[in-house]
A and B are shown apart, each in its own frame.
Chain A
């Protein structure tokens, strides 16, 4: 009896212990550090949810890595948590993953996977998974696929804890994992002796809107995580030059020919690193309004001559972001010029970006500038204002593309901010129009990143349309107001996870205008805008007289002008009518009807008509029909035909040169 009683008591105690919430962090001695050594601030800038402590050893020959990770999680959700999902994104590089499915379907970045190359294999394999105080859960991990029905996708894993973590409590995970990096197909992996470690460690999802938000790895979108502190030790061969997120804390040579480099990052939500024996380092300093920022530019030897070019555009961009939106608070920015053959160009990670150039890059071709500018912009729109890229890709890529247009135009001029070479020009806005035009009606901006029609639509809408919509909005509410709105949005939502409405309402609030008519069409809708000058007519009032002789300035005409809204986006617009006596008339049309006609009785004929004469609307699908002149001017067409003729002649001559 006594023994039975003791068994019952024991079971009761065990049962109570199992069902009771785990200890709070204070009781267990857990905490997310409040250090401020990596930022120019004496207090933490974010609500730090996570602390990652990772010790990783990289095998450069096998392109693999073995690591131990200690993750301390602070439950700030206000409710007990007993389930935790983790990203294991290197598992996307397997033939049955959702990412490869999407890639095969969409030929993402040119990858249509006609044949699976074993070098493309990547893996993030958890060797052991312990929850401190609750035991080993390695065998209880479950792969989940919240976004699709692909049971073979292994990019999200979930663990269920018997003891929930109470509100404001802490939990610590100790994870041993093995990474196999793929040859870079997209963003992360190795190429020759270069490696970029992105999405390389088990990373916990985000509790957002009363649920876990932890998407699978997709073709276009991959970022959403909580802020915290990162302490990462990377052990690599001594010949490697290493760069990473955060600040470098120490570098120690080990007796086995390796070295261990330690990094520390604060108020960041991801950690990436790179290693290659070939990097040359160019150092510079940018003085932000919060303090000095060390620029560490890791150049390929063949690109060393462009190091200054990288530094200059980085500083010019940082100065404008600092002045327009707010300060960059981190002490470092690492700019990586990745191996040119790799697919790791143009990527963003906190305090760590990759550029993209090649050894022959004329100064008039502003690709390196554009990439560095864009990726730095992500330090704001993704890095600090940490929107959900999976669900609101336009809020980081698109807002950033808008910022890119503003910054690049302010430095290089609106018509030459992409290309200014041998008389051939191109600007950011032209580029965005090209992205957008062919996919204008396919998708709305406000949809999940992995559910776009295809890669072109994702790019055209997320990048191109968003930039054009915001540039146009700037003309609706005024450039200063727009800048003030962006500034307010940044200061209000930095180090948080804002939503679409947070952004849109901030603009409405700062501008003092109800802009729903615009947002409903532009952001939430797929409406397309295309105004055209449909027809011009100038008929003499006395047309019926047989002896009528038309004389300029004497004959009176009835002038009619028809403006047509071809598509379904309704937007007020100005119309300018020029007459052949030099008169100009400005009309304002609300655009509500399908068409409008303006009629005049004047001693002048209509010379030209232009819709949107101040060029305030950037997303009109066809700018050629926005104007009409009475007289034809064939000069532009003749010029292009002349070019075409010359090319044809050259081609014909070369054919005859070699074959006859």
Chain B
């Protein structure tokens, strides 16, 4: 437990030293989401801006009136509002994939990483990360498919009993277990990504194997750290929603924006905290014995584009 907390604290220290990455990613997240919401926003403005009926969603949130708005022909089909949001979510995912190598290098560095090094790391590792993503998608997809299939069978069986709570709790516990399994896979690939970036490992399969070995040997520590941070993330969400409900007046657009964005920023920080924890673990446990040799190679070797 103490080791877990040390790892979590080490990760937190890394995040504190490199807050700018979170800020940049947050701004990217906000900007993309803003673009994704523009179709919705335009349609809402066209219906609500000159109508007194809009008060029912401004001074409170009347679900019926909101749904009336969505049902208006002038609002358009709902997919025209949801699809851009989904598209920009995918764009954010791609951006994360592209820029994450620079973040990992920055997290491993004991000085502020120059911009050119950041982008060089991104460029050098982009296809490696894509390949890692493909590996991850296959492994996690297959495993999640099997596990969710088994869970569905369990829930169906539970549904046949007269204990009404059983299906729900079966679903809940099963989902938590599946999330834990997926978290293990996520740790595995976080370490593989770290391996790829810090060792400049071009052979992705070797990085995947190395990530697996390290995860397997230190599963308790790593999983404990990730779970602690995930619980903090959940608390951030719950407290944020409670504060939103408790202290923000329904008509305060600014108040809702501030608290909503604070939540989103902190939520993003939690994931970066996990990444930083993985990097801290990697640097401490794996790089140290060969630190001089490898770091020199990684940082000084000329980059061949």
A-to-B contact residues, CB < 8 Å = 192-194, 278, 300, 302-303, 339-341, 358-360, 415, 419, 422-427, 429-431, 433-434, 437-438, 608, 610, 622-629, 632-653, 655-660
**Cβ A648 vs Cβ B54 within 8 A:** no
Most chain B CB neighbours (cut-off 10 Å) among A300, A635, A638, A660: A660
Return B238 CB to nearest CB of chain A, in Å: 12
Chain A residues within an 8 Å CB radius of B48:
624, 634, 636-637, 640
User: Chain A: which residue is nearest B30 at the CB level?
Assistant: A649
**Cβ B41 vs Cβ A641 within 8 A:** yes
Return B290 CB to nearest CB of chain A, in Å: 27
1/0 per residue, CB under 8 A from A, across B77-96: the answer is 00001000110111011001
**Cβ B271 vs Cβ A656 within 8 A:** yes
For window 227-270 of B, CB contacts with A under 8 Å fall at 241, 245, 250-251, 253, 256-257, 260-261, 263-264, 267-268
Chain B residues within an 8 Å CB radius of A610:
52
Taking A300-B164, A624-B53, A660-B93 as given, write out 8 further A-B residue pairs in contact, using a Cβ cutoff of 8 Å, ordered by the A residue number: A359-B168, A430-B63, A636-B48, A641-B41, A648-B32, A649-B29, A652-B88, A655-B89
Chain B interface main SS type: helix
Assembly CA distance A424 to B64 (angstroms): 10
User: Chain A: which residue is nearest B189 at the CB level?
Assistant: A660
**Cβ B165 vs Cβ A359 within 8 A:** yes
Known: A437-B68, A645-B30. A632 touches B58 (CB 8 A): no
**Cβ B32 vs Cβ A636 within 8 A:** no
**Cβ B68 vs Cβ A636 within 8 A:** no
Chain B residues within an 8 Å CB radius of A303:
164
Q: Which of B2-10, B113-121, B155-163 contacts A (4 or more CB under 8 A)?
A: B155-163
The yes or no answer to B216 lying at the interface (CB within 8 A) is no
Option from A341, A628, A641, A650 in Cβ contact (under 8 Å) with B50 = A628
Known: A192-B162, A652-B92, A653-B29. A637 touches B245 (CB 8 A): no
The yes or no answer to B287 lying at the interface (CB within 8 A) is no
Assembly CA distance A425 to B37 (angstroms): 23
- The bracket for how many chain B residues form the interface is 35 or more
**Nearest 10 pairs between A and B by C-beta?**
A430-B64, A652-B89, A641-B41, A648-B33, A636-B54, A627-B52, A637-B44, A652-B92, A636-B58, A648-B85
The yes or no answer to B51 lying at the interface (CB within 8 A) is yes
Assembly CA distance A425 to B64 (angstroms): 8
For window 4-54 of B, CB contacts with A under 8 Å fall at 29-30, 32-34, 36-37, 40-41, 44-45, 47-54
**Cβ B61 vs Cβ A424 within 8 A:** yes
Chain A residues within an 8 Å CB radius of B264:
646, 649-650, 653
Option from A643, A645, A655 in Cβ contact (under 8 Å) with B90 = A655
Assembly CA distance A278 to B65 (angstroms): 41
Chain B residues within an 8 Å CB radius of A419:
63
User: Chain B: which residue is nearest A339 at the CB level?
Assistant: B162
The yes or no answer to B154 lying at the interface (CB within 8 A) is no
**Cβ A430 vs Cβ B65 within 8 A:** yes
Assembly CA distance A651 to B29 (angstroms): 10
Return A133 CB to nearest CB of chain B, in Å: 48
Return A359 CB to nearest CB of chain B, in Å: 5
The yes or no answer to B298 lying at the interface (CB within 8 A) is no
The yes or no answer to B136 lying at the interface (CB within 8 A) is yes
Chain B residues within an 8 Å CB radius of A623:
53, 65, 68
Option from A622, A642, A655 in Cβ contact (under 8 Å) with B92 = A655
**Cβ A422 vs Cβ B81 within 8 A:** no
**Cβ A644 vs Cβ B162 within 8 A:** no
Known: A623-B53, A653-B264. A641 touches B44 (CB 8 A): yes
**Cβ A646 vs Cβ B245 within 8 A:** no
**Cβ B133 vs Cβ A659 within 8 A:** yes
Assembly CA distance A302 to B161 (angstroms): 13
Return A268 CB to nearest CB of chain B, in Å: 30
List 14 contacting pairs A-B, 8 Å CB cutoff, sorted by A.
Answer: A300-B164, A423-B245, A430-B64, A608-B52, A624-B69, A629-B51, A640-B66, A642-B257, A645-B34, A650-B267, A651-B86, A653-B271, A659-B133, A659-B137
Assembly CA distance A341 to B168 (angstroms): 13
**Cβ B160 vs Cβ A640 within 8 A:** no
Most chain B CB neighbours (cut-off 10 Å) among A303, A624, A650, A651: A624
Return A517 CB to nearest CB of chain B, in Å: 27
Return B129 CB to nearest CB of chain A, in Å: 8
**Cβ B37 vs Cβ A359 within 8 A:** no
**Cβ A637 vs Cβ B256 within 8 A:** no
**Cβ A659 vs Cβ B253 within 8 A:** no
**Cβ B164 vs Cβ A433 within 8 A:** no
User: Chain B: which residue is nearest A276 at the CB level?
Assistant: B162
**Cβ B57 vs Cβ A636 within 8 A:** yes
**Cβ B162 vs Cβ A624 within 8 A:** no
Assembly CA distance A427 to B268 (angstroms): 37
User: Chain A: which residue is nearest B190 at the CB level?
Assistant: A660
User: Chain A: which residue is nearest B40 at the CB level?
Assistant: A644
Most chain B CB neighbours (cut-off 10 Å) among A640, A642, A650, A659: A640
Chain A residues within an 8 Å CB radius of B52:
608, 610, 626-627, 629
Option from B44, B89, B261 in Cβ contact (under 8 Å) with A648 = B89
**Cβ A430 vs Cβ B62 within 8 A:** yes
Chain A residues within an 8 Å CB radius of B162:
192-194, 278, 339
**Cβ A633 vs Cβ B54 within 8 A:** yes
Assembly CA distance A653 to B268 (angstroms): 7
